[in-house]
Amino acid sequence: CAAGTYQDESGQKICKSCEEGSFCPEGAAAPLPCKQGSYSRATNLTSAAECTPTAPGFYASTGSTQQAACSPGTVAPSASMGACVVCLSGSYQPTEGATACETCGLGVYCAAGASAELSCPAGRYQPSRGAAEPAADCQITPPGTYASAGSAAPSNCPNATFNTQAGSEEVGACLRCQEYSTSPAGSTEQAACVCDPPRLLLG
């Protein structure tokens, strides 16, 4: 059989056209699959070199008739990829057909293969990029502060309040000083509350 055709049966008068996703060298008794990282829709290929390499952001398994886009959370950084690469912990990729993972931002974390950033829970914060998990990387707010979900830094309790607890989730966790007393922002104990300077009432 001529190159680009094959015959897998005996006693035949003509050869068969090579199949999609395959190539057929001269005298082929069966189609040979395009190697992984390449594909073909043609039916007359004569060698593996004629299979089309995948583009960056796409992959193809052995014998593929078309390339497929990498799914979110995975990438193909170069051409001729037989499989997509999973994004490492601390990175993510929200779109398909991508060539590079994105670094996780502030106030969030990304597990391996993440397609989206996840917010650090309330009562925790994340001041740096590339966090991988909430328990290890999202830091607990110290006393005198609080943090809503997805915070990059803790917020101080307002003036005239204090907070003795770590891991506070909202400003409501900050306790008010007694009437006619105040405290600096971020106070950690009630002893920080002191009386306002006396005011002279006129009238």
Residue 190 φ/ψ, nearest 5 degrees: -65, -25
Asked whether 148 and 170 are in contact (CB, 8 A), the reply is yes
pLDDT for residue 201 = 47
Sequence length of the chain is 203
Residues 143-195: pLDDT tens digits? 999 999 999 999 999 999 999 999 999 999 999 999 889 999 999 999 999 98
pTM beyond cutoff 0.85? no
The string of DSSP codes covering 10-74 is SS-SSPEEPPTTEE--TTBSS-EEPPTTEE---S---SGGGSEEPPTTEE--TTBSS-EEPPTTE
First to last CA, the chain: 115
Sequence-distant (6+) residues with CB within 8 A of 18 are 4, 5, 6, 24, 28, 31, 42, 43, 44, 45, 46
DSSP at 139: E
DSSP at 151: B
Residues 31-61: pLDDT tens digits? 999 999 999 999 999 999 999 999 999 999 9
Statement: residue 17 has pLDDT above 60: yes
Rounded CA gap, 164 and 23, in Å?
73
Residue with tokens 């003795």: 164
